Structures are given as C-alpha cells and as structure tokens.
C-alpha cells in the first residue's frame, strides 16, 4: 500500500503573503491550479512574479476527470513546482496529481 500527498501543505491566516518566498526556494517556474474562477489567484500570481517566479495557470472547472488530470500532468512539464490554490476541485486536482511526480515538480498546497 502506498500513500502520497503534497510535499508541504500550508494554510491559515496570512499564509498567502509567505508563499512567494517559499515558492522561490523550489525554482522559477510554477503551475498554479485554481478553481473555476482563476481571477481569485491574481494577487498570488502578482506576488510570485515579484519574486521572479513565472506561473502558468490551470483552472479546474468541475470535478477533475482522468483526461483533465493527464492534461494537468502535461502542463506541469518543465515546472519546478505545482501550487494548488483554493479548495474543492483545485485541491482535488492536486491530490490526484500522481502523474506530476514524473515531472520532478514539487507540490505546494495553499488553501484559501
């Protein structure tokens, strides 16, 4: 039996402000997984940019399907980290991200 989860899970009041510095340790390219309203992550994306981290966004419209998980794995190629931002579907997509382990990307989860 095996259980895998994010390398680090961060949550709580004020944690969003700490994320860019945490993320910079992993590298300069990130995939940010959001819920269907990716605009909620705009402050995060701006903060990542100010730390020199380029972020691509993958918005999860509904419960992730197998095909969507595969497309997420493709999107993560070349990224040093995958950041889950939000709750529900975004975090579910991150949890189902076993294919991303093959990309050698670190996973960092932020609940908001």
* Band (99; pLDDT cuts 50, 70, 90): very low
Please indicate whether residue 87 or residue 76 has the higher confidence score (pLDDT).
76
pLDDT digits (tens, 9 = 90+) for 72-82: 878 887 888 88
- Most confident residue range from 22-36, 61-75, 98-112: 22-36
- Whether the pLDDT of residue 4 is over 80: the answer is no
CA dist list (Å): 72 to 13, 30, 33: 28, 12, 9
Parse the chain into domains and list their residue ranges. 8-111
pLDDT digits (tens, 9 = 90+) for 15-26: 888 888 888 888
- Whether the pLDDT of residue 101 is over 60: the answer is no
| Residue 46 pLDDT | 94
- Which residues are CB-neighbours of 88 under 8 A, at least 6 positions away? 35
3.40.640.10, 3.30.1370.160, 3.30.450.20, 3.40.50.1970: CATH of 8-111:
3.40.50.1970
> Which long-range contacts does 57-62 make (Cβ < 8 Å, 24+ apart)?
57/31, 57/32, 57/33, 58/31, 58/32, 58/33, 58/34, 58/93, 59/33, 59/34, 59/35, 60/33, 60/34, 60/35, 60/36, 60/89, 60/90, 60/92, 60/93, 61/36, 61/89, 62/36, 62/89
């Amino acid at each position: 039996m095996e259980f895998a989860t994010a390398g680090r899970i961060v949550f709580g009041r004020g944690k969003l402000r700490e994320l860019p510095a945490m993320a910079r340790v992993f590298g300069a390219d990130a995939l940010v997984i959001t819920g269907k309203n990716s605009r909620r992550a705009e402050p995060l994306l701006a903060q990542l940019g100010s730390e020199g981290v380029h972020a691509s966004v993958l918005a999860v419209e509904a419960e992730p399907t197998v095909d969507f998980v595969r497309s997420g794995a493709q999107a993560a190629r070349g990224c040093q980290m995958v950041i889950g931002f939000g709750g529900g579907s975004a975090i579910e997509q991150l949890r189902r991200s076993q294919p991303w382990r093959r990309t050698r990307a670190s996973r960092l989860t932020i609940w908001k």
